[in-house]
Chains A and B, each alone.
Chain A
Amino acid sequence: MCWETLLDYGLRSLGIGERLLPRADFTFCQQVVLIGSGMIWNVYFGILALISGFLLATLVATGKASDNVFLRKPAEWFVFVFRGSPLFIQFFFGYFLFLSLKQVLPAAEPFSSAWLGALVVLFLNTAAYSAEIFYGGLQSVPKGDLDAASAYGLTGWRRFRRITWPTMLRLAWPAYTNEAIFLFHATTLVFFSGFPARSQKGDALYYASYFADKTFNPFVPYPILAGYFILLTLCIIGLMGFVNARLNRHLPQAATRRPRLLPQIIR
């Protein structure tokens, strides 16, 4: 019985399967399947924003640590603007900005839909938060490591690539794990902030609130959503812990710091 529901609604968030959402006699199975289907979007936004944001964050962090004013100031402002304002407002502003852009430039049309527009906002947002973390990492790269690199004749790009950057990553990784977790949590804001869920293709929270509105019973859909997110959080901690172990593999085991489930720093 639940198998049928899975076939009907398993990929509903992508528009595949049954067109109409359930309207009456909601079963537990339907709620689990549809909310799980919505998780596809949360994972999509989370992973793509994390990967693209990682690249920009490295650039911005080095810019912020640079001696050149023309690199440092823009990087500082970028971090300040995106860390100093609510993501919710950034989503709204981004959406209406893209709408206006569409009037001028028809090619900008995809930006006004969630899959691209919200992704861009999330990308810039996580880049700013991660850049601040990486900047902190850059500042705490041990002086001795850099001196040793110079003594070996490593300079410029080669020194950055082989010494500074890996050390920065190693130092920043526990905080970055934390940022990744909060980024995935932040993806739930997408469909509540202007970006439309066309033909009811939404994320996990969208479906959870759909069920809560229809059944007027929040005690089923939200715990399901919470369960999914706790699972997702554990997966992220596992994956990031694996990377962490790799980054620290040259160190004596006792010196490594594992990412913790409930770290102190939050975004």
Chain B
Amino acid sequence: MFACADPATLEGLPWLLCYLTTGKHLSLYWAVGTVLLLLAITAPVAMAFGFGGAMAARSGMAPLRWFGKGYIAIVRGVPDIAFFLFFVIALDQGIEYLRHRVKCPDWDQPVRQGSDFLVCAAAKMPLGNAPQWVHETYGFALAVLTFAIVFGAFAANVLYGAMRAVPRAQVETAEAYGMSRRQTFWRVTVPQMWTYALPGLGNLWMILIKATPLLFLLGVEDIVYWARELGAAKTARFSDYPHPDWRMWYFLALLVFYLAFTRLSEIVLARLSVRLSHGQATAAGERLRRAGANAGPP
């Protein structure tokens, strides 16, 4: 296509095309993949956490119920970014501490010494001599777990509300048929709660998308990292593509990317909501039924 060998001789569009396909820009495009991967992994894990949290909050056992309600209340009452910063260090230290107890049982010094957190070399996570990709994967996994814990609490709140929104009569009918508590929950409450949960979960998905730039704060080289890196002013001495400070334009591009992404999600969620409302005894379901009846047989 274009010869990018000597960018200094290029001008206009060819220059821009060459500029946008440098190695570092390819890293930026890969980072978009990182964001999507984070979303793809975090969403189901957070749902699992949320389901567990909601079940705990409904539990008949008081300590479990307190745990569930406390989990929801604390995560929701505190800025999420504080949780991100907290969990990344806390999880890391927790894992290293557990490994330390298992791998070096005869270590006699305290783990916390003043401002240091000391574990034996074999307990380091990842090991000091591990290759770079292990470090990156471990950092990413910690980030996913942190996101899942925080968004699990939000999801737990939504699911808890949805479980309570299932009409009381349905549950009573199930009980009248002699179903146990467990059977009622799995056969009546859970299948019916989704239509009530969808608006809240959709909202949560939007929030999750908008929280992905916080990956930057967790030390992952994500799109925010690369936008700052690439946008900063470059002089001819250090770069083949010298340019002034373009960070504003890079962040504008990110802004547009997120706008497009949330808009797309909105459209998909609206379609999904219509589909889930089919045959439901709700206002939306009734509207669909009427519209179908008015249209007549196909």
Residues of A within 8 A of B (CB): 24, 26, 80-81, 84-90, 92-93, 96-97, 99-100, 185-186, 188-189, 192, 205, 208-209, 212, 214-219, 222, 225-226, 229-230, 233, 261-262, 264-267
State whether the Cβ of B252 lies closer than 8 Å to any Cβ in chain A: yes
- Residues of chain A within 8 A (CB-CB) of B158 are 264
CB neighbours (8 Å) of A214 from chain B are: 115
Contact call B90/A89, Cβ cutoff below 8 A: no
Flag if B80 contacts A185 (CB, 8 Å): yes
B79 touches A100 (CB 8 A): no
Report which residue of A89, A188, A226, A267 has the largest number of chain B beta carbons within 10 angstroms of its beta carbon: A89
Q: With A and B bound together, what is the CA distance between A87 and B255 in angstroms?
A: 10
| Chain B residues, CB < 8 A from A96 | 231, 245, 247-248, 251
Which residues does B use to contact A, with CB under 8 Å?
A: 72-74, 76-82, 85-86, 89-90, 93, 112, 115-117, 154, 157-158, 161, 200, 203-204, 207, 209-214, 216-217, 224, 227-228, 231, 245, 247-248, 251-252, 254-255, 258-259, 262-263
- B262: chain A residues within 8 A (beta carbon): 84-85
The contact sample of 18 A-B pairs, CB cut-off 8 A, is A26-B115, A84-B259, A84-B263, A86-B212, A89-B251, A89-B258, A92-B224, A92-B251, A97-B248, A99-B245, A185-B79, A188-B81, A205-B82, A208-B82, A218-B93, A226-B74, A229-B78, A230-B77
- The residue in chain A whose Cβ has the minimal distance to the Cβ of B214 is A88
A222 touches B82 (CB 8 A): yes
Which residues of chain A are near B80, meaning CB under 8 Å?
A: 185
User: Do B258 and A85 touch (CB < 8 A)?
Assistant: yes
User: Are B210 and A85 neighbours in the complex by a CB distance under 8 Å?
Assistant: yes
Alpha-carbon distance between A85 and B223 when the two chains are bound, in angstroms:
14
CB within 8 A of A192: which of B81, B231, B251? B81
Q: What CA separation (Å) do A173 and B281 show in the bound complex?
A: 29
